[in-house]
Structure formats: C-alpha cells, structure tokens
Amino acid sequence: MGATQSQLDRLEAVLAQMGEIAVAVSGGVDSLTLATFAHRRLGERVEMFHATSPAVPPEATSRTQRLAQTEGWSFAVIDAGEFAREEYRANPVNRCFYCKTSLYGAIRPATGAQIVSGTNLDDLGEYRPGLEAARDHDVRHPFVEAGIDKAGVREIARHLGLDDVAELPSAPCLSSRIETGIAIDPAMLAGVHAAEQWVTAALQPRTVRCRVRAGGAVIELDREALAGLDESRRISLSGEMAKLFRDRGFDLAVSFAPYRTGSAFLIRELKSPADS
C-alpha cells in the first residue's frame, strides 16, 4: 500500500493546485479512475465531459453514465463533432490529432475549468498525435505530472473500490481498427463493433480486435483463444462475420490472426530527397 499511497499523495497534490477541473472521460480505466479520484477529493470543483460518436463503443458510454450517477458527478455528454472534419474521416496517420482537437474544442466553450486527460506515463512512449492537440488546448495530464503509469492507474482504481474498472482491458476508439488511409465510415465502425461483440460472446477471448485492412477484415485474438479455434469453427465464424459486414454494405473477406497492438495503424516514414 505504501507505493500506492505515495502515488495518491502525488496525484492529489497535482490536482489541488489546478483550481477548477474539467475531466475528459472516454470510459476507459485511465479517465474513469482520474474522474473518480478528482471528484472524491475536490468535489464541486470537478466536472466531467464524455463525448459520444460512431467511434465510441456504446458500452463505454453506458459505463461512464453509470459511474457518474453512482458517484454523483457534475456530468455532461457532448458531441465532439469529429466526423464533421474531412481530415478525420480521411484517416491519416495523425487522425487522433483531429479527433482530440474536436474533443477539446467542444469542451472549452462549456467550461472555464482546466481541462485534464487520463494520459499516463506509458502513453508517452507511443506515437500519440492527440497529445499535440492537448498542447494546443493547454490540456494537462495529472497522471503524467504525478509520475504514474498504467499499472499505477490500475492500483489506484482498486484502492478506490473500482475493481471492475481496474480490470478493464485497453480499448482504443473504434476508428483505430481501420487501417491508416482507409476512410472512416460510421457504418463500418458499427460492423467492427458488432463483430467484436459477436466473437467475444462466442469465444470468450481475453482480447479481440476486428481490423479492417485493404485486403479485408482480420479478427485478431489472443494466442490462447486463437489456438483453441479449430478449422471448422474458424470457417464458420469467418462466414458469420462476412455476412455481418455484407448486411452493412461491405463485401469483406474475413480471416483470423494473433493480436498485435495497433496493428492497423501504419506510420509511414518520411523519406528525404536523398532516399528517393
């Protein structure tokens, strides 16, 4: 408990000097934990904003709404409007920049408080164009300022009695399932979400991602779940998933593969003239 208490003390010190706070709550472990901790410590100085869109799984919204009601948050559901941006829908390498720009731009007119996110130390080691949007909007990251990583966030969630939240798997937005350069389509995202829900119900895997690539849809599973999938079941599920997409207007071949983090997200290296 000593290490966790030290993290709690550091986090409280960071939040205490911010004044009024507006937490951008996505519905994942990081932002839900931050929102709960901040509200319990600072009460009416804290308000929460959750954005809905075709890229946000409905269960993330439901989870956030339940916790908001249980904890008595000052809470608002907003439309960030990222789908109105052509740059976002085109799905470039820095798509997240346009998403977060829309999010923070939608929160700012609704509050004069300091906007904060659930970004943690581990996130700084990844390519996160959304952090550029955060800088543009003067968004602060209390977990980072307090020196807390993902494991620390989960420990804090357990300390707060949020056991279900603490065990939530990482769940990036649905648009992250679409390979860079393939346009983001709300109907496609609905198909991706339905496919993941279907496979989860059928196989109970630890991890499932439905990626849409130029060559079709790929259902990525943790290795244990994939190893337990015999050929006949694989063929059957592939057919069911293909029909699911056809019903939404997309003719996609469906295959299975081992799960890899961010494997639909391509970062193309820029070549210098000398490399051309």
Is residue 51 within 8 Å of residue 23, measured between CB atoms? no
Strand partners, 216: 213
What's this model's pTM, rounded to 2 decimal places? 0.91
Angle at 198 between CA 30 and CA 257, to 5 degrees: 80
| b/e sequence 208-241, b meaning 16+ C-beta within 10 Å | bbbbbbeebbbbbbeeebbeebeeeeeeebbeeb
Mean confidence (pLDDT) of the chain: 93
pLDDT at 267 over 70: no
Distance (Å, rounded) from C-alpha 257 to C-alpha 84? 33
- List domains and CATH numbers for the chain: 2-166 (3.40.50.620), 174-258 (3.30.70.2210)
Residue 58: how many CB atoms within 10 A of its CB? 12
Distance (Å, rounded) from C-alpha 57 to C-alpha 196? 11
Distance (Å, rounded) from C-alpha 23 to C-alpha 169? 21
Residue 82: how many CB atoms within 10 A of its CB? 26
Counting Cα atoms < 13 Å in the Cβ hemisphere of 232 gives 0
Distance (Å, rounded) from C-alpha 12 to C-alpha 146? 9
Q: How do residues 85-95 score in pLDDT, each as one tens digit? A: 999 999 999 99
pLDDT at 266 over 70: no
pLDDT at 184 over 60: yes
Least confident of 68-72, 126-130, 235-239: 126-130
Tokens representing 12? 């409280």
Q: How do residues 206-254 score in pLDDT, each as one tens digit? A: 999 999 999 999 999 999 999 999 999 999 999 999 999 999 999 999 9
φ, ψ of residue 233 to 5 degrees: the values are -70, -35
pLDDT for residue 263: 53
3-state secondary structure of 262: coil
What 3 state SS string does 153-215 have? HHHHHHHCCCHHHHCCCCCCCHHHHECCCCCCCHHHHHHHHHHHHHHHHHHCCCCEEEEEECC
Q: How do residues 5-17 score in pLDDT, each as one tens digit? A: 999 999 999 999 9
Strand partners, 221: 208, 258
φ, ψ of residue 200 to 5 degrees: the values are -60, -45
